[in-house]
Structure 1
Amino acid sequence: MFAQPSAAALNHLLQQNNWAQQRLVRFAGRTARFDIAPFSFAYTILPDGMLQSAGATTSADAVCMIPPTLLPRLALHDEKAHAEVRTEGDAALLTEIFFLSRNLRWDAAEDLSRVTGDIAAERIVQTVQHKRQQLRDAALNLSQAAAEYWTEERPLLAKPRDIADFVQQVDRLRDDIARLEQRIRNLTTR
């Protein structure tokens, strides 16, 4: 159901980044499957580096099992998220898939320019990027303010320094108890 449109979208992305097509040419004929519960997508790499939707019965050379909760982090290019993807199969193909997932970029202005014209498309994309950066900055400022409030004004969170002091005190108490136990053993054996 989603395999054909997703293959078309990926091919569009590959055409915008033709360097990526050239990298995929050496994997022509191989199939990669992506399991994102409850869906499964399989693509066969064509000789020109483009992708073709593969059937459910096609044997996959490489498999990526991606929990759906990981998708937003992958979309934001979170490096730690890549480590949480489970993989099986052809290591070289998997390495290439991860490289492409980190480096492929969608040229939204190019696609939008077909509808609005070049100048309007560039301004729309710049405005969206500016608003996205403002949103990121606001979220960062809010999280920093909340952390400061919860550690300074209404101590709900412990400061790292306080935790380190507590750990030191616990260690000191443990050592003192061990020394006391040793003294008691020495006194009882006399």
Structure 2
Amino acid sequence: MFAQPAIATLNHLLAGSGWAQPRLAKFAGKTAQFRIAPFSIACIVGEDGLLSATEEVVSADAVCVLPPSLLPRLAFQDESAYSQIQTSGDAALLAEIFYLSRNLRWDAAEDISRVTGDIAAQRIVQLVTGKHRQMRATALNLSQALAEYWTEERPLLAKPEQVAGFVQQVDQLRDDVARLEQRLARLSSGK
């Protein structure tokens, strides 16, 4: 149910790029499985570099397991999110999948221009891109403001300097207690 639209979208992106299909065609006949709870998509790479859905495979050549919470971060090109994807299987195929996910872009203006014409499509894309940048900047500003509020105004989070100071105080207390125990042991044995 979910596999067909996802694979059709990926094939549209691959076909529109011009460079991605030949790169993926090197892996013709190999299977890749993407597990995004509660969905699982299995696909096979064709000779032409396009993907086609396949039945759930017991042992795919490459497997990527993504927590659903990671999808927004990947959509915003958060590089640290890639390290949280669990992978297994063919390292070369996985490397190509990650390369494509980082570099494959949708030419929205091309698709929209079929309906609205070139100039209107460009304006729509510029508007959406501007709004996307604005949303991203707003989210960043909001997160910075909340972090400052929770560390300065209503201390819910500790600053790294405060944590380091606390750890240093705990270490000092531990050392003082150890010295006191030694002193008490010497005094009690000297009786």
TM-score by length of 1: 0.89
RMSD value over aligned CA atoms? Answer: 1.9
Deviations 1:85-109 (A, max 9, x none): 2222222111111111111111111
SS at match of 1:27: coil
State the percentage of identical aligned residues: 66
Q: Could you tell me how far 1:83 is from its partner in structure 2?
A: 2.1
Residues 1-190 of structure 1 correspond to what in structure 2 (within 5 A)? 1-56=1-56, 60-190=60-190
Higher mean C-alpha deviation, range 104-113 or range 146-155:
146-155
Deviations 1:54-113 (A, max 9, x none): 123585222222222222222222223222222222221111111111111111111111
Higher mean C-alpha deviation, range 58-67 or range 28-37:
58-67
SS at match of 2:123: helix
2:98, 2:18 → 1: CA distance?
17
Higher mean C-alpha deviation, range 25-34 or range 78-87:
78-87
List alignment gaps of at least 5 residues for structure 1: none
1:21, 1:32 → 2: CA distance?
16
SS at match of 2:19: helix
2:161, 2:21 → 1: CA distance?
51
Equivalent residue letter for 2:149: Y
SS at match of 2:124: helix
2:86, 2:155 → 1: CA distance?
39
Maintained 8 Å contact 2:42/2:57: no
Relative distance call for 1:156 and 1:2 in structure 2 (3 A) is closer
Deviations 1:161-188 (A, max 9, x none): 2222222212111111111111122222
Relative distance call for 1:14 and 1:149 in structure 2 (3 A) is same
Q: Could you tell me how far 1:155 is from its partner in structure 2?
A: 3.2
SS at match of 2:148: helix
Relative distance call for 1:115 and 1:94 in structure 2 (3 A) is same
List alignment gaps of at least 5 residues for structure 2: none
SS at match of 2:26: helix
SS at match of 2:52: strand
Relative distance call for 1:174 and 1:68 in structure 2 (3 A) is same
Equivalent residue letter for 2:110: E
TM-score by length of 2: 0.89
1:150, 1:141 → 2: CA distance?
14
Q: Could you tell me how far 1:138 is from its partner in structure 2?
A: 1.7
2:171, 2:115 → 1: CA distance?
67
Relative distance call for 1:20 and 1:159 in structure 2 (3 A) is same
Q: Could you tell me how far 1:51 is from its partner in structure 2?
A: 1.2
Relative distance call for 1:78 and 1:65 in structure 2 (3 A) is same
2:28, 2:182 → 1: CA distance?
71
Higher mean C-alpha deviation, range 112-121 or range 2-11:
2-11
